[in-house]
Structure 1
Amino acid sequence: MPMADTFRQGAGRLCLDFTRTLRARGTDHAVEELTDGPALSAWVGQCGPVAPVPGSVVPEPIVRDAQQLREAVYALVEAARSAGGPEAAGEAPRERVNQAATRTVPVPALSDSGELRWYANDPVTGTLALVARDALELVTSPAVTRIRACADPSCNALFLDLSRPGRRRWCSMDSCGNRAKKQRRRA
């Protein structure tokens, strides 16, 4: 199980960071990062606005639901990137994301000291609802044309290309981009 602060971020959207929890998607060496309740709690603690209460237990059905939501988000985003648009994802992924988006999300509040704090009765399902809502917003926005897959065939992570020319190739220059540069130099 990955420890806190080991999950990849920087995809440009929460929903795309969530899809990265299946590393090396589509390869023979794909790695599931959301293996159990502690792993899902760690992801929520690192990437969500509200960390789960230390020692809280995430039940196995919630972990399976999170994995299924991740795959539905991925299918929806991939369909939205295609000529068929988000409707090409089919009913099952659309319904799973729509259903997750109906859950109660974390809410912001201003503390007595003037800091923004987030609150949720259930940080895990609340963060998953934010993921679903972010996915729905992304696949119906003009930004969908800026979603890219990493050019590293052993990575394939999705990211939102926010560069001015719109020609970013790597999910991260620190990992995939540098690896490609080293390979070119060696060649």
Structure 2
Amino acid sequence: MPTTLRFRQGSGRPCLDFVRTLRHRGTADAVEELPDAGTLVAWVRQCGPCPAEAGDADAALVRTAQELREAIHHLIGAARADRSPGARDRERVNRAAARAVPVPSLAPSGRLEWQADDPVRATLALVARDALDLITSPALDRVRDCAGPTCGALFLDTSRPGTRRWCSMDTCGNRAKKQALRRKATA
């Protein structure tokens, strides 16, 4: 596993950052960013509150995480379309949310530290709880699909007018602006 592995964040919610681990969703170029235990642990290290170690995940937990991610994506989609959620997806997210979550403690240094007996499952529990909170809150009305034609990411639009179009101005927004300039230059 490369030490420079970085996962996209900045969607506005932990559950949406987790859903982003299937990059280019819905396209022929879809990329699974959590293919093995090492990458799942790396995601928890980067995006979760408590430290995780290499042995904290196995192939079964990777499958569980991928299934949770897809269940969260389906639940968000159903809620946005004002449809009833699928029973299997609802059960999968509820089961993950019921697990123990990381607990905070104040270290002698005065810093906040997070601990969990099972840091990967505890982080997935936080993600599941965040998804349940999102789909039952008014913030759901601010969840957007990135306008990038091959992106497939969801994000929370926190802009005042609620008209944000891209998951990231640095990537998808910049790419769209460059393409528009090229079209303009060739026209």
Q: Who is 1:143 aligned against?
A: 139
Cα distance in 1 for partners of 2:3, 2:101 equals: 24
Is 2:128 aligned against 1:129? no
Query: Which residue is equivalent to 1:71?
Result: 70
Residues 38-187 of structure 1 mapped to structure 2, 5 A cutoff: 38-53=38-53, 55-84=54-83, 88-187=84-183
Q: Shift of residue 103 of structure 1?
A: 0.6
Identity of aligned residues (%): 62
Q: What is the distance in 1 between the residues matched to 2:124 and 2:56?
A: 16
Root-mean-square deviation (Å): 1.2
The CA deviation at 1:4 is 5.0
Residue aligned with 2:55, SS:
coil
Following superposition, the deviation at residue 2 of structure 1 comes to 6.7
Q: 2: CA distance between counterparts of 1:185 and 1:111?
A: 52
1:111 deviates by 1.4
Give the distance between the partners of 2:64 and 2:153, measured in 1 at CA.
Answer: 21
* TM-score, normalised by the number of residues in structure 2: 0.94
**Compared with structure 1, are the counterparts of its residues 31 and 128 closer, same or farther at alpha carbon in structure 2 (3 Å cutoff)?**
same
Q: What stretches of structure 1 of length at least 5 have no aligned partner?
A: none
Structure 2: runs of 5+ lacking an equivalent: none
Whole-angstrom CA distance in 2 between matches of 1:30 and 1:172: 18
Tell me, in whole angstroms, the C-alpha distance in 1 between the residues paired with 2:3 and 2:22. Answer: 15
TM-score (structure 1 length as normaliser): 0.94
Aligned-partner Cα distance in 1 for 2:2–2:23: 12
Mapped to 2, the partners of 1:151 and 1:145 lie a distance apart of 17
Distance change (3 Å), C-alpha of 1:185 and 1:2: farther
- 1: distance between equivalents of 2:61 and 2:4? 19
Give the 4+ runs in structure 1 shifted more than 4 A: 1-5
Of stretches 1-10 and 16-25 in structure 1, the one that deviates more from structure 2 is 1-10
CA displacement, residues 144-187 of structure 1 (integer Å, 9 cap, x when unaligned): 00000100120010000011110000000000000000000000
- Tell me how far 1:83 sits from its aligned partner: 2.7
Q: Does the CA-based 8 Å contact 2:51-2:115 persist in structure 1?
A: no
Q: CA deviation at 1:58?
A: 1.3
d(CA) in 1 for partners of 2:147, 2:165: 5
Q: How many residues align?
A: 183
CA spacing shift, 1:139–1:48, aligned 2, 3 Å: same
